[in-house]
Chain A
Amino acid sequence: MSTDSHGVSVRIDGCGKTFADGTRALDPATLDIARGETLVLLGPSGCGKTTMLRIIAGLELPDPGGKVLFDGKDVTSVPIERRNIGMVFQSYALFPNMTVADNIGYGLKIRGVARDERAARVAELVALTNITGLENRRIDQLSGGQRQRVALARAVAIRPGILLLDEPLTALDAALRDRLRSELNRLLRALGITTIYVTHDQAEAMELGDRIVVMRKGGIAQIGTPREIYFAPRNRFVAEFVGAANIVEAPMEKGELILPGGRLPVGGETTAANATVMIRPESIRVVEPGAGSLAGVIDTVSFIGDRQRLVVSGASAKPLNVDAANTIQAKAGDRIGLTVPPEALRILPSED
């Protein structure tokens, strides 16, 4: 296995993008990516993830003033073919007129690597990506998952300094996606290449990312580790986009939220006419009626297998989503009590 770490560090310096037709796809953004780090660009469709990736790749020029630096060197005007990057496209973009082996070896052939050495490297990657036996197939004889592996093998064959992946798993069905995700994770760790991974799937972002950049409408909403993004979202958009979240808006008095179902301690002594608070469904505990700080009535119970999702009304102005253990006996119409540890509550700025 190739454990040679050959990643470079990347700096994006004030890179914005306005397309010829006037579309502002990306506000000027500055971002540092450490050598060997896996950075995930996460955001809804159309928020500018691909644009950012293409600027780093050299397929798109940033607006004047923006700079892209690899290991401190300005590469803004260097074309993609001389940036030594590996790229995996959402459609895989495998060459239909070449076999699997020729696809994987293409970058090496262009670099003038001798035939024997090339064959050895291709064999190494075929083994690494679990596609042994498919070397001489044509691309249209491969399944979606196999194509994804070939695309990855082709991109890393050239020992790139940076690996760029644009939604590489989106085209696959859910079960395959889960399996390939963990396989990809293992591979990226083993290769140690600096990786930038675009996705709109938060589970993918959490598992793969050392850090996540949450994007929204061409801007960066928050940068942080998966834990920071999940537990300490900086605003309502991030809270709702990453994971499930109850957003509660209510007046606050001396560190307690005043809710229809009771008073919920938040901690501290703050008083505010209107506070916005995030509560993750799994941080709410179900207790006996009358106990706990909130009282409510179960609207619906959805059994999901590893847990059950309750929708509880009466506790807050809007129904609350509560994740309860799958062993609890609960049915619609039951009165229950709820407790939330103060540290699980997150006060959000009340903009938007």
Chain B
Amino acid sequence: MSQKSFVWFCLLPLVVVTTAFFLLPMGRLVVAGAEGPHGLAGYLAILTEPRYRATLINTVLLAAATTIVTLIVATIAGMFLQRHRFPGRSVLIAMLTFPLAFPGVVVGFMIILLAGRQGLIGDLSNRLLGEKLVFAYSIYGLFLGYLYFSIPRVILTIMAAVQKLDVSLEEAARSLGAGPWAVQRDVVLPALAPAFVASGAIAFATAMGAFGTAFTLATNIDVLPMLIYTEFTLAANFATSAALSVGLGLITWLILALARSFSGSAVAAAG
């Protein structure tokens, strides 16, 4: 067997798996999206139909906000945790990364325990302000749930990146007169850029497709995965749900590609 055919032979399982579990269902999905009463125009409905469009915008905004806030929180926390040694540090890290294994349902449940009608925040605000604060079922509750979901993932990536930072770069900047803020701006953040892109992409994609949390909270606001679910199971509207699914994938991919190309130059420069 020649070198080349050997490589092809090794690739065969990959080809089979890709075809069976990825290409075929995807192809079927794309076709199904165009099998509704409006044909291919069914895809256009995602953008033209007001309810779909509003849901799409909601979802993208929510995912973007989740990504940005997650990155900020995780960067500050990850930097602090990686750079300082204090009693209780490992317990804190364990607590922060504990939710990694939780499915969205559990996260949604915890948000209800926190900010639901019988929740902790409601009790507290009732006692202090005489008014029950309930936001578990609003977009804020959903946002909080998504944060809870994505922070552990991002924090670990950032901590690993902080550990690999070259401390002498920061010392060099300081020797040249840079104060703490300037060091962060000119040295630390550029060096962390690749980690931001990688973990930000995961946070964004996860938030775009998250379903369990939204389902548990049964919010009055719709996100795309919820919409797909209702169209599919309740309305039995296969074509629309297929079109929405393909749209969800495409839009997520497009936004990530854009983000990558924007930060691409920064990442390349940070080498």
Q: Is A bound to B?
A: yes
Whether A158 lies near B169 (C-beta < 8 A) is no
Q: Does A179 contact B (CB under 8 A)?
A: no
Whether B175 lies near A91 (C-beta < 8 A) is no
Given contacts A81-B177, A107-B177, A158-B177, contact A96 B171 (CB under 8 A): no
Whether B177 lies near A97 (C-beta < 8 A) is no
Whether A138 lies near B269 (C-beta < 8 A) is yes
Whether B186 lies near A106 (C-beta < 8 A) is yes
Contact partner of A93 (CB less than 8 A), chosen from B172, B179, B269, B271, is: B172
User: Which residues from chain A contact B182 at a C-beta distance below 8 Å?
Assistant: 110
Q: Does A281 contact B (CB under 8 A)?
A: no
Contact with B along A73-111 (1 / 0, CB 8 A): 000000111101111010101111110000000110011
Whether B269 lies near A91 (C-beta < 8 A) is no
Contact with A along B25-46 (1 / 0, CB 8 A): 0000000000000000000000
Interface size class on chain A is 20 to 34
* Main DSSP-derived SS at the B contact region: helix
Q: How far is the CB of A137 from chain B (nearest CB, A)?
A: 12
Quick one: which of A96-145 are within 8 Å of B by CB?
A: 96-98, 106-107, 110-111, 138-140
Q: Does A57 contact B (CB under 8 A)?
A: yes
Whether A95 lies near B168 (C-beta < 8 A) is no
Quick one: which of A1-31 are within 8 Å of B by CB?
A: none
In the bound assembly, the distance between CA atoms of A80 and B175 in angstroms comes to: 6
Whether A81 lies near B168 (C-beta < 8 A) is no
Whether A111 lies near B177 (C-beta < 8 A) is yes
Q: Does A176 contact B (CB under 8 A)?
A: no
Interface size class on chain B is 20 to 34
User: Which residues from chain B contact A97 at a C-beta distance below 8 Å?
Assistant: 186, 190-191, 266, 269-271
- Measured CB to CB, the nearest residue on chain A to B187 is A95
Whether B166 lies near A87 (C-beta < 8 A) is no
User: Which residues from chain B contact A80 at a C-beta distance below 8 Å?
Assistant: 171, 174-175
Q: How far is the CB of A21 from chain B (nearest CB, A)?
A: 11
Q: How far is the CB of B193 from chain A (nearest CB, A)?
A: 8
In the bound assembly, the distance between CA atoms of A93 and B170 in angstroms comes to: 8
In the bound assembly, the distance between CA atoms of A59 and B174 in angstroms comes to: 9
User: Which residues from chain B contact A93 at a C-beta distance below 8 Å?
Assistant: 166, 168-169, 171-172
Q: How far is the CB of A245 from chain B (nearest CB, A)?
A: 36
Q: Does A154 contact B (CB under 8 A)?
A: yes
Q: Does B120 contact A (CB under 8 A)?
A: no
Most buried by A among B175, B266, B270: B175
Q: How far is the CB of A112 from chain B (nearest CB, A)?
A: 10
Contact with A along B231-259 (1 / 0, CB 8 A): 00000000000000000000000000000
Q: How far is the CB of A221 from chain B (nearest CB, A)?
A: 28
Q: Does B173 contact A (CB under 8 A)?
A: yes
Given contacts A93-B169, A95-B187, contact A87 B175 (CB under 8 A): yes
Question: What would 14 A/B residue contacts be, using CB atoms closer than 8 Å?
Answer: A57-B175, A80-B175, A81-B174, A81-B178, A95-B173, A96-B271, A97-B190, A97-B269, A97-B271, A106-B178, A110-B182, A111-B177, A154-B172, A155-B176
Considering the complex of A and B, which 4 residue pairs feature the smallest CB-CB distances, nearest first? Answer: A107-B176, A93-B172, A97-B190, A93-B168
